[in-house]
């Protein structure tokens, strides 16, 4: 399997629709820490499907050959442009604002607002992990510097005096950004590297293992989702007090395996007719759910669920899988990741049945797992 999947046609509109549904009100938008990426751990893909593997020094140096002196001064030496001079200050077009160095999408035009400060201002980052925050004590002040989550380029600062719904003001240098209008073809770096799906089907150890075997699946992470508190811990989730389901984040190459196939595989991997339990595991944290990113995924999942329900195998057995827009995914503690692969234990999932349902043979399984 190639490490960098080739994605078909991706335009700004695609990114907007992917990103739009990954936002929700219980995101940790007001916590100025060094990182706001709740997909922490060994996951390198953001909820919008971008590979956030840090750029190397040589990658940055190579790219800087194409940048202007001012762009290099700002992004590589934490420079600041003069107010009311930036080219993007008054830009009101629909589209996305990317890092000028690595082209990672950082902001959507829908979160841009007129702050009156003289610098382009936004109230929300495009996706978690795309921007990192660092305490900055230079110039005799304590401020929060913002940097690109992939190449580390300096972007500006974030302040706690922005408009609702986040109350944050991301203050940017125009020269640290590159704007792409909606409908524009996106260059490499600004296009998603993968698509993300979220599935809850009882204990995440087995579900994670089941998905990790499929060709086209690039990464699978165990975590907690659809609950009511930030940064939940295993113990609290198990006590049933946080409202989270044990879920897995599946990063996949849509050119190799599509979301509908993943949904169908999932329906046979676990028992979607058991309410708030899977076998001996009981409690709402073991509920069955597909948490979708965007309208397209929601429609696909709905279609698959109704087809599976109509099949003979489920005749007289009611599917109880919940379909909801994905809320923040919190990666589980490290010891839960790759648990089955590490321990060789068995879990509740039925991998042969799931493979059969999508017309695959166990011999097709992804190598290396
Ligand atoms: Zn960057």
CATH classification at residue 354: 3.30.1060.10
- Mark whether 205 and 230 lie in a shared domain: yes
- Mark whether 199 and 268 lie in a shared domain: yes
- Mark whether 355 and 277 lie in a shared domain: yes
Residue 247 CB contacts under 8 Å (≥ 6 apart), including other chains? 198, 199, 200, 204, 207, 222, 223, 224, 225, 226, 289, 291, 329
pLDDT tops 70 at residue 296 = yes
Q: Report if residue 15 sits inside a domain.
A: no
Q: Report if residue 67 sits inside a domain.
A: yes
pLDDT tens-digit series, residues 113-159:
999 999 999 999 998 899 999 999 998 999 999 999 999 999 999 99
Q: How far is the centre of ligand 1, averaged over its atoms, from the C-alpha of 23 (Å)? A: 21
What percentage of residues in the chain have a pLDDT greater than 90?
71
Question: Mean per-residue pLDDT for 332-344?
Answer: 86
Q: Report if residue 13 sits inside a domain.
A: no
Lowest mean pLDDT among 15-24, 66-75, 203-212: 15-24
Indicate which CATH number applies to the domain containing 124.
2.170.150.20
Q: Report if residue 19 sits inside a domain.
A: no
Q: How many domains does the chain have?
A: 2
The pLDDT assigned to 15 comes to: 67
- Mark whether 228 and 360 lie in a shared domain: yes
Residue 301 CB contacts under 8 Å (≥ 6 apart), including other chains? 259, 260, 263, 290, 292, 323
Q: How far is the centre of ligand 1, averaged over its atoms, from the C-alpha of 131 (Å)? A: 9
Q: Report if residue 20 sits inside a domain.
A: no
- Mark whether 155 and 219 lie in a shared domain: no
Question: Mean per-residue pLDDT for 279-292?
Answer: 92
Lowest mean pLDDT among 1-15, 104-118, 244-258: 1-15
Strand stretches in the chain, DSSP E: 95-99, 105-108, 112-113, 121-122, 131-136, 143-148, 154-159, 169-172, 177-181, 195-201, 217-225, 245-252, 277-278, 281-282, 288-292, 322-325, 330-331
**Active-site residue (options: 148, 203, 263, 347):** 203
- Mark whether 206 and 167 lie in a shared domain: no
Helix (H), strand (E) counts: the chain: 9, 17
The pLDDT assigned to 4 comes to: 42
**Range of 227's domain?**
195-364
Note if 171 is an active site residue: yes
**Active-site residue (options: 99, 102, 148, 171):** 171
Q: Report if residue 80 sits inside a domain.
A: yes
Residue 200, sorted as left (phi over 0), alpha (psi -120 to 50) or beta, turns out to be beta
pLDDT tops 50 at residue 3 = no
Q: How far is the centre of ligand 1, averaged over its atoms, from the C-alpha of 101 (Å)? A: 5
- Mark whether 46 and 105 lie in a shared domain: yes
Q: Report if residue 274 sits inside a domain.
A: yes
Residue 342 CB contacts under 8 Å (≥ 6 apart), including other chains? none
The pLDDT assigned to 174 comes to: 96
Q: How far is the centre of ligand 1, averaged over its atoms, from the C-alpha of 151 (Å)? A: 4
Alpha helices in 239-284 (DSSP H): 259-269
Residue 131 CB contacts under 8 Å (≥ 6 apart), including other chains? 36, 106, 125, 146, 147, 148, 149, 155, 158, 170
Lowest mean pLDDT among 9-13, 177-181, 306-310, 352-356: 9-13
Alpha helices in the chain (DSSP H): 12-20, 57-64, 69-77, 204-212, 234-238, 259-269, 295-310, 339-343, 351-357
Among 4-8, 83-87, 362-366, name the most confident range. 83-87
- Mark whether 205 and 319 lie in a shared domain: yes
The pLDDT assigned to 37 comes to: 38
- Mark whether 113 and 207 lie in a shared domain: no
Q: How far is the centre of ligand 1, averaged over its atoms, from the C-alpha of 113 (Å)? A: 22
Question: Mean per-residue pLDDT for 310-339?
Answer: 92
- Mark whether 101 and 225 lie in a shared domain: no
pLDDT tops 80 at residue 288 = yes
pLDDT tops 60 at residue 267 = yes
**How far does Cα 204 stand from its chain's mean position?**
18
Residue 69 CB contacts under 8 Å (≥ 6 apart), including other chains? none
Lowest mean pLDDT among 5-19, 91-105, 111-125, 190-204: 5-19
- Mark whether 38 and 163 lie in a shared domain: yes
What is the chain's length? Answer: 369
pTM score: 0.74
Q: Report if residue 23 sits inside a domain.
A: no
Confirm if 129 and 35 have CB atoms less than 8 A apart: yes
Residue 241 three-state SS = coil
Note if 151 is an active site residue: no
Q: In the numeric block, which tokens belong to residue 196?
A: 């993300």
- Mark whether 88 and 221 lie in a shared domain: no
DSSP conformation class of 276: T
Residue 32 three-state SS = coil
pLDDT tops 90 at residue 340 = no
């Amino acid at each position: 399997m190639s490490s960098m999947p080739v994605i078909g046609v991706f335009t700004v509109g695609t990114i907007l629709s992917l990103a739009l549904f990954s936002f929700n009100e219980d995101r940790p938008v007001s916590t100025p820490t060094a990182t706001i990426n709740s997909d922490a751990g060994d996951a390198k893909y953001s909820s919008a499907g971008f590979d956030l593997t840090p750029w190397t020094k040589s990658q940055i140096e190579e790219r800087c050959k194409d940048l202007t002196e001012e762009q290099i001064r700002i992004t590589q030496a934490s420079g600041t442009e003069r107010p009311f001079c930036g080219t993007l200050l008054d830009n009101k077009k629909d589209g996305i604002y990317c890092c000028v160095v690595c082209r990672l999408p950082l902001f959507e035009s829908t979160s841009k607002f007129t702050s009156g400060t003289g610098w382009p201002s936004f109230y929300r980052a495009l996706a978690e992990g795309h921007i990192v925050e660092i305490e900055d004590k230079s110039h005799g002040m304590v401020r929060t510097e913002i940097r690109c989550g992939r190449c580390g380029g300096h972007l500006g600062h974030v302040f706690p005096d922005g408009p609702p719904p986040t109350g944050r003001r991301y203050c940017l240098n125009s020269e640290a950004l590159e704007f792409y209008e909606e409908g524009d073809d996106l260059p490499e770096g600004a296009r998603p590297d993968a698509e993300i799906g979220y599935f809850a089907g009882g204990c995440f150890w087995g579900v994670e293992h089941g998905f990790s075997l499929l060709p086209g699946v690039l990464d699978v992470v165990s975590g907690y989702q659809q609950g009511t508190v930030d940064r939940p811990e295993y113990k609290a989730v198990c006590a049933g007090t946080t409202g989270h389901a044990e879920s897995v984040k599946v990063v996949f190459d849509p050119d190799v395996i599509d979301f509908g196939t993943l949904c169908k595989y999932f329906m046979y991997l676990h028992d979607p007719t058991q309410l708030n339990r899977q076998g001996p595991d009981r409690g709402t944290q073991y509920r069955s759910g597909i948490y979708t990113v965007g309208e397209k995924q929601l429609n696909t999942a709905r279609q698959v669920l109704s087809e599976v329900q109509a099949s003979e195998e489920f005749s007289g057995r009611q599917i109880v899988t919940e379909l909801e827009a994905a809320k923040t995914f919190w990666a589980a503690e490290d010891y839960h990741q790759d648990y089955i692969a590490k321990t060789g234990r068995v879990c509740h999932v039925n991998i042969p049945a799931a493979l059969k349902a999508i017309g695959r043979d166990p011999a097709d399984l992804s190598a290396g797992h």
